[in-house]
Amino acid sequence: MKLEFLLDTKIVILCGTGGVGKTTTAAALALAAALEGRHVGLITIDPARRLATSLGLNRLKSDPQPLNKYIEEEIGKGKLKGSLSAMMLDSENTFYRFLKNVGGSDIHDSFKSSTLFEVIAGNFGGAHDFLAMEKLFELDKSGAFDLLVLDTPPARHTLDFLDAPEMIARFFDDRIFTWFLTNPRSHGVAERLRATSAKVALSVLEKLTGEGVINDFVSLAPHIYKVKNAFVERQQVIRKLLTSNQAGAIFVSSPTDLSRGEAKPFLKDARAKGIDILAFVVNRSLRGLAPEAEPRGLRSAPAAVAENYRRLRFLVEEEEKNLKLLKELAGTDRPVITAPELEEDVHDLPGLLALAEILG
């Protein structure tokens, strides 16, 4: 195996901007590890649900969906030494499940009946990060998998979820929150805003939002308080695991996108957050298609054929420049793996398998 860490790492996170085949790469690496005998859980939080497509499935569910049978139907029995299950991160579902597990039915129901929370939950875009961590915790604890492969959404700030524990702790830690708890729904909202230094902020918020939101929040506050420690703790557990030597990130890019210069800030960020970069994967390389500047037969080829070759060659030259820069960044201890452009779009299992062989 080229990527030996797939044999002993517990969590691998795939990062990189959209459009570089990150989801496909996640699926291919998960498959490669499963073929080698690992029990792999593959999670995508990509809101576009593209993982399902690359696994040749119509829709993924939010619970792990075992794919062994499906894989064996496609590639024949006996080749798959481990197992592969795939799932979509359903943020809403993950959160309510967390509430039920940690807080019990009462708390679960009070969140569910809150209008404020209903809207927030329907708009969980920004909370994907926290809930991906929560999902990792849940899956890691279930013991059903020995490798979790997480495909992140195509956000720029891909490693931000590592900040989640502090962010949440900071939010709940403030006096304003305690204040909510000590004066639950006692008087009119304005009256409750007298003594603390945080009151100004709250009164400003209230002037903007009307009493409704603040009241909604006040009635939820004690429940939030009860579950927040558990939430923060779980986030911390996962972060500890993510920053240990049992986990790491893979930066995925395409040769032309490398020119965006995103690898550098990503590396800096990863270093600052203490997460290992396990490898760089560069997808869809055209190098094999236009390997030389002046191959034999170029001059005698029909105009359209020669023109096409020159165009591809320009692309390859750009690619080479970008790759050189990336290798300098990566240094000697991190593998840079290039996967060639495949003849077909990868949207089924045989395609994924071909990619798994190249990458793994």
Partner 1 sequence: MSLDFSSIATRKLLVVTGKGGAGKSVLSLALAHRLSVMGKRVWLVELGRKRDREFSRLPELVGRSKIGHEPAEVTLPGTKQKIKVSVLDPALSLGEYVDLKLPTGGLAGMLLNNRVTASFLEVVPGLPDLVQMGKLWHALTKDENGPDVVVLDAPATGHAVSLLKAPANFRKITRLGPIYRDASLMAEFLGDPAKTGIVLASLPEEMSVQETLELQKLLGKEFPAPLVVVNKCFPALPKLKSENPDSIVWRAYTYAAQRGLREQEAAADLKGARQLPYLFPEPGALPLYLRLSELIP
Euclidean distance between CA atoms 39 and 84, whole angstroms: 6
User: Does residue 44 bind partner 1 (CB under 8 A)?
Assistant: no
Question: Which residues are CB-neighbours of 213 under 8 A, at least 6 positions away?
Answer: 116, 205, 206
Q: Which residue, among 29, 53, 9, 82, has the nearest Cα to 337 in the 3D structure?
A: 29
Residue of 78, 187, 210, 332 interacting with partner 1 (CB under 8 A): 210
8 Å CB contact between 43 and 161: no
Token representation of residue 259:
């020119």
Q: What does the angle CA 140 – CA 142 – CA 148 come to, to the nearest 5 degrees?
A: 35
Number of residues that bind partner 1 (CB under 8 A): 84
Q: Which of 46, 134, 140, 276 binds partner 1 (CB under 8 A)?
A: 46
Stretch that binds partner 1, among 47-55, 65-73, 226-234, 329-337 (CB under 8 A): 47-55
Q: Does 329 bind partner 1 (CB under 8 A)?
A: no
Contact pick of 6, 257, 279, 282 for partner 1 (by CB under 8 A): 257
Does 61 bind partner 1 (CB under 8 A)? Our answer is no
Closer to partner 1 by Cβ: residue 169 or 241: 169
- C-alpha 1/C-alpha 20 separation (Å) is 23
Phi and psi (nearest 5°) for 47? -60, -20
Helix (H/G/I), strand (E/B), else coil: 34: helix
DSSP characters over 155-210: -S-TTGGGGHHHHHHHHHHSHHHHHHHHSTT-S-TTTT-SSSTTHHHHHHHHHHH-
Q: Which of 25, 36, 30, 12 is nearest to 342 (CA)?
A: 25
- CB nearer partner 1, residue 7 or residue 305: 305
Query: Given candidates 9, 25, 65, 254, which one binds partner 1 under the rule CB under 8 A?
Result: 254
Binding string, residues 154-183; x marks residues near partner 1 by CB under 8 A:
xxxx--x------xx-xx--xxxx------
Q: Return the biggest CA–CA distance within the chain.
A: 89
Q: Judged by CB, which is closer to partner 1: 177, or 225?
A: 177
Q: Residue 263, class by beta-carbon neighbours within 10 Å (0-12 exposed, 13-18 middle, 19+ buried)? A: buried
Helix (H, G, I), strand (E, B) or coil at 93: helix
For partner 1, which is the closer residue by CB, 4 or 317? 317
Q: Which residues, 277 to 316, sit near partner 1 by CB under 8 A?
A: 289-292, 295-298, 301-302, 304-306, 308-309, 311-312, 314-315
Residue closer to partner 1, measured from CB, 22 or 38: 22
CA distance linking residue 102 with residue 235, whole number of Å: 14
What minimum distance in Å lies between the beta carbon of 205 and partner 1? 7
Member of 9, 25, 44, 53 binding partner 1 (CB under 8 A) = 53
Interface of this chain with partner 1, residues 98 to 127, rule: CB under 8 A: 115-116, 119-120, 122-127
Nearer to partner 1, 157 or 271 (CB): 157
Nearer to partner 1, 81 or 171 (CB): 171
**Of the candidate residues 57, 102, 213, 241, the single one contacting partner 1 (CB under 8 A):** 213
* Residue 99 to residue 224: CA distance in whole angstroms: 10
Q: What are the residues facing 150 on neighbouring strands?
A: 13, 43
Q: Which is nearer to partner 1, 170 or 240 (CB)?
A: 170
Among 2, 49, 79, 271, binds partner 1 (CB under 8 A): 49
